[in-house]
Amino acid sequence: MEFEKKEDCGLFGIYGDKDSVEKTYFGLFSLQHRGQESAGIASSDGEFIQCHTGMGTVGRVFRKGRKTLQRLANPMAIGHVRYSTSGMSKAINSQPFLSEYSQGQVAVAHNGNLINAKLLRDEYEAYGSIFKSTSDTEIIIHLLAKPSHVTKPDPLGHVLSHLQGAFSLLFLHNDRIEAARDPYGIRPLCIGKTKEGAYVVASESCAFDAIEAGYIRAVEPGEIVTLCEEGLKSRFFVAKGSIKPAHCIFEHIYFAKQNSRIFGDNVHEVRKKAGKALAREFPVDADVVIPVPDSGTSAAVGYSAQSGIPFEMGLVRSHYVGRSFIAPTQKARETSVKLKLAVVRDAVEGKRVVVVDDSVVRGTTTRGKVRSIRQAGAKEIHMRISCPPIRYPCFYGVDFPTKKELLANGRDLGQIAEFLEVDSIEYLPLDKMLECVSLDKDCYCTACWSGKYPIPVDVASSKFSMDRYQMRMFDENEYDV
């Protein structure tokens, strides 16, 4: 894992449990890997919704612990952890968003990225709508409130049909929770059930483990699932199966937690298969295989098992150091990387080392890790990456750098190896990576590797496209794709 790409967000919701808020709190903890910029919980007693959000991790936002959770205590709740992929990392963009319109209160939590967000916002502002945030999520609330939409037979389904891009959404109304997924199923969303019979919905099934809930199924692409007093109801806002799925396979490569089940496969098993495929395709004479933790660990286990080269934890990760990509200077980022990943000298000294990582984005922090391993006495360093070279930006909820900043853009393997200061580097080919998952290869989005976007992107916008006034402190050209 490089500290140069940001995860998308994490969603959790539960209906009909006396401890719904507390279970949402624990569910968000298990999804913390999906977002550390802000967190929040909204809950309802059936008549009134209240909400608490803030900047930072779940533990920081709810640092008063039980006191805050008791204030929110209600039988239904939704929660959100955020990494910004649309809109700056500011308190005004924390979710869930709580608003009130002609149909009452609604709280919304979103994972994904709307590629037509700026177009919709410009249109609504032209007719007098006032926005309080710079996130694409708020646009959905304005669509819900539009008088001509409110009168439709299925207002929410009608609103969702206006959205283009990747979205998994939770809506908390006074009396129910509605969960929806875009017609391509780009981002994951699944349904579970607690021992007490309460329905749960979350971005990943690992959140169910945290509250001892069982996995039922995924929310299907284009489906709206309602959790209410009658139980679980389902409807589709597009014809079921009318659109070929485009699941983000990068969820398997990097985002999701190893014990999660997404898109029909266990994440750990997919990564192990990728590591085994790497060993078959690109063997190397070496003494030890080490992972870049945590997302590279399962692939390294697979590489070791297939190659017969011993597995070692040559890099040890500290969970108490802040994310290095938000450090203010390059020197601070380099220091942060050294603190974040410490080299176990005895595991690499005097040895030929295979380093297995999930991906390489800019390459600057990867080069720093390589230098640390070399300084610890490694004789040779061979990088093996469990996905193809990333050459294209993502517009569906992954905060990759601009195309010109991507290491693999315009460089061949020799040039990449030279930049990273490794003896060799190999990437898992796209077709071999797709063999590691169980669905048909056409059911996955591979745009960041192939440049083939399942949803056409007419205008390439940056995550700061709607931060017009806040962008005074930045050079806007720096973020052009």
> Which sequence positions are flagged as catalytic?
9
Q: 156 with 224: CB under 8 angstroms?
A: yes
Q: Dihedral angle at the C-alpha atoms of 263, 441, 430, 388, nearest 10 degrees? A: -30
Q: 45 with 74: CB under 8 angstroms?
A: yes
Q: Which residues in 229-337 belong to E strands, given as ranges?
A: 231-236, 247-248, 261-262, 265-266, 288-291, 315-317
State the Cα–Cα distance between residues 453 and 447, nearest whole angstrom.
Answer: 5
State the Cα–Cα distance between residues 74 and 340, nearest whole angstrom.
Answer: 39
- DSSP bridge partners of 54: 39
Residue 333's CB is within 10 A of a number of other CB atoms, namely 19
State the Cα–Cα distance between residues 221 and 199, nearest whole angstrom.
Answer: 19
Closest Cα to residue 12, out of 136, 137, 191? Answer: 191
State the Cα–Cα distance between residues 68 and 58, nearest whole angstrom.
Answer: 12
State the Cα–Cα distance between residues 97 and 137, nearest whole angstrom.
Answer: 8
Whose tokens are 């930045």? That residue is 474
Q: 288 with 265: CB under 8 angstroms?
A: no
Distance spanning both ends of the chain, measured CA to CA: 23
State the Cα–Cα distance between residues 442 and 434, nearest whole angstrom.
Answer: 9
State the Cα–Cα distance between residues 312 and 300, nearest whole angstrom.
Answer: 9
At residue 78, the 3 state secondary structure works out as strand
State the Cα–Cα distance between residues 458 and 242, nearest whole angstrom.
Answer: 22
State the Cα–Cα distance between residues 199 and 9, nearest whole angstrom.
Answer: 21
Residue 237's CB is within 10 A of a number of other CB atoms, namely 19
At residue 258, the 3 state secondary structure works out as coil
Closest Cα to residue 386, out of 261, 279, 308? Answer: 279
At residue 44, the 3 state secondary structure works out as strand
Judge residue 475's burial from the number of C-beta atoms within 10 Å of its C-beta, 0-12 exposed, 13-18 middle, 19 or more buried: exposed
Q: 299 with 358: CB under 8 angstroms?
A: yes
Helix (H) or strand (E) holding 267: helix 267-281
Q: Evaluate the omega torsion of the peptide bond into residue 294 and state whether it is cis, within 30 degrees of 0.
A: yes
